[in-house]
Structure 1
Amino acid sequence: MLKTRGQRIFNWFNIVIVFIIMLTCLLPFIHVLAKALSSNTYILAKEVYFWPKGFTFFSFNYVLSNPQFMRSMLVSVYITVAGTLLSMIITILTAFVFTRKDLPFQGFIVGLFIFTMFFGGGMIPTYLLYSNMGLLDTYAVLILPGAVGVFNIILMRNFFESISPSLEESAIIDGASNIRVLFAIYVPLSKAAIATITLFFAVGKWNAYFNAVMYTTSPAKMPVQLYLRNILLSLDTLLESDPQQLEYVATEGVRAATVVAAMLPILMVYPFAQRYFIHGMMIGAIKE
């Protein structure tokens, strides 16, 4: 099919816009990576842009040799895995319940869930609630508050509703229970949606640090994002306490290496979900 001149111009215009957006996302990461791999001299001279100069791993060695960083990394992995698993169980079960036509007060219950997307109890009441429940300075306070994602529940429900009801009817005729219908029909047919929402939850859990700032005090429960925040704020003082390190690493290089090291684990997850991600972004968004 031949395209008109206007269509070709429009396509090239879209390509240029997407390319510019891609550069705005990619160049900052390349700049940070170049700093993390550059020597102290070039970083202090502000000569590092998008390619390492004086290639060295001293900054990464400094970051990875810190026992608190490795401890924080393990804490974040635990919070991400446990929190994502819990959130997905709640999301799948709740979305399936919301598809039941015989659910009493279905509209009212769904409305209560949606209400929480727009209104919250406030920071101080939330803190007092967690304190009274004994959740402060525990792993539970880093996992439970974000366990229910209403937006993701709505996405999953919309996808469940797009599955042909005849499959469920056939299973019920054969004597299948609701649990059997869910795990034998809905879950296998929802791999793309599950992979996409799992990635949403995992990225959110990995990047979260506000709950750790507000509700934890123990370094043993410090996630890597809170560790990264502390490093960005207090690295100059840490390096001044060890003058020998100043000969090999610059504060900007260590900050950059910490950022890269904190990003890599979650970036490694994406290739495994990529085959489902694009399809999963579209499903549930359009109802026939």
Structure 2
Amino acid sequence: MARPAYRFNTRPGRVFDVINVVILVAVGVIALIPFLYVLAGSFATEAEIATRPFFIWPETWSLRAYDAILTSPAFLRALVTTILVTAVGTAVQLLLTASMAYPLSKQNLPGRRLILSLVVFTMVFSGGMIPTFLVVKDLGLLNSYWALVLPMAINPFSLIIIKNFFQQLPNELEESAMIDGANEMRTLWSVILPLSKPVLATFALFYAVGIWNDFMSPLLYLTDNSMWTLQMFLRQVTSATDLSVLEDTPGEVPPAEGIKFAVIIVATLPILLFYPFLQKHFAKGMLIGSVKG
């Protein structure tokens, strides 16, 4: 007996779609309004910020705040540091995660169940802040940029998803590579990873956003002000009253509130610009590898 054809273009279905769209648009607008306020405040004058409690379009446009931070040696140093740490950290995390996920995707790996059990165990229980700090200290990583990368080099959730993705790839691909004389590392690099671009791009975005926005790791492991990342600089600027962190920015002293807004925008903008390049892989990468165990 043939299954009945389901009709989605019904009146209740259309009402649900309209309500769904209205709710999603409202939530999107609510989430966007604070960002627009910060963006407008970064281009406004000090007097307008002080007199207008809320606005999304400044009456008088000013670039003094951006001129101040973009000519500040401390800000430029923190920006370059964050970019390099994010790039290196993302590459290291993807490399280590894929290198561990590939052998775990093999059913005949000795001790595979025990290793996977330990991975799942770390998703539920962790050492916590103080034990992690003691480990980083004993390894001599304090005041080192590696302290921002290595403690979270392999994320258990990402590892399991990437492992499941590798398991779904046809075994014939690896067998063909082996016949051609490729070893395991060559097979991983030349066959498996090129076919895994959606899932790798997705977790590259996750890793990059996590490292870029990481505040606790620099706060715990970096005591040298010259090694500050952008989040530490942002914290210092938003909590300071004299803006001495700008290191004697040349020119007239810019509006204090405008500088805070401008730093927030500059700290947020790179991730927003980075996302569209990975958007085509994002939805596919989140679904692939999340079904089979």
- Matched to 1:89, the amino acid is L
Correspondence for 1:11? 17
- Size of the aligned set, in residue pairs, is 285
**TM alignment of 1:200-239, pairs within 5 A:** 200-236=206-242, 238=244
Aligned partner of 2:274: which letter? V
The change in CA–CA distance for 1:219 and 1:237 in structure 2 (over 3 A counts) is closer
Contact 1:40-1:248 within 8 A present in 2 as well: no
1:268 to 245, 268, 273: 273
Q: How does 1:67-216 map to 2 (within 5 A)?
A: 67-216=73-222
Alignment-mate amino acid for residue 87 of structure 1: Q
* 1:114-162 CA-partner distances (Å, limit 9, x unpaired): 2122222232222222222211111111221121111111111111112
Cα deviation for residue 64 of structure 1 reads 1.5
- CA distance in 2 between partners of 1:180 and 1:121 (Å): 35
1:255 is matched with which residue? 260
CA distance in 2, matches of 1:263, 1:178: 40
Out of 160-169 and 4-13, give the one that drifted further: 160-169
1:26 equivalent in alignment to 2:17:
no
The TM-score normalised by the length of structure 1 is: 0.91
- Aligned to 1:269, the other structure's residue is in SS state helix
| Identity score, percent | 36
CA RMSD of aligned residues (A): 2.3
Normalising by structure 2, report the TM-score.
0.90
Q: Which is further off, 217-226 or 44-53?
A: 44-53
Which sections of structure 2, spanning at least 5 residues, go unmatched?
1-6
Please list the CA deviations of residues 87-111 of structure 1 after superposition, one character each: whole Å capped at 9, or x if unmatched.
0101111111111111111111011
The SS at the match of 1:169 is helix
Separation in 2, partners of 1:200, 1:57: 32
- C-alpha distance in 1 between matches for 2:53 and 2:124: 46
Counterpart residue identity of residue 81, structure 2: V
* One-letter code aligned to 1:286: V
Structure 1 residue 60 and structure 2 residue 66: aligned? yes
Write the letter of the residue equivalent to 1:284.
G
Change beyond 3 A, Cα 1:235–1:5: same
Q: Distance in 2 between matches of 1:104 and 1:18?
A: 48
Q: What SS does structure 2 have at the residue aligned with 1:187?
A: helix
SS of residue paired to 2:76: helix
- 1:40 aligns to 2:10 (yes or no): no
Partners of 1:235 and 1:278 lie apart in 2 by: 43
Q: Measure how far apart 1:47 and its partner are.
A: 5.0
Structure 1, gaps ≥5 residues long:
none
**1:237 CA drift (Å):** 5.8
AA aligned to 1:49 is F
Per the alignment, do residues 159 and 45 of structure 1 end up closer, same or farther by CA in structure 2, a change over 3 Å counting?
same
Q: Which amino acid aligns with 2:169?
A: I
Residue 236 (structure 1) shift: 4.4
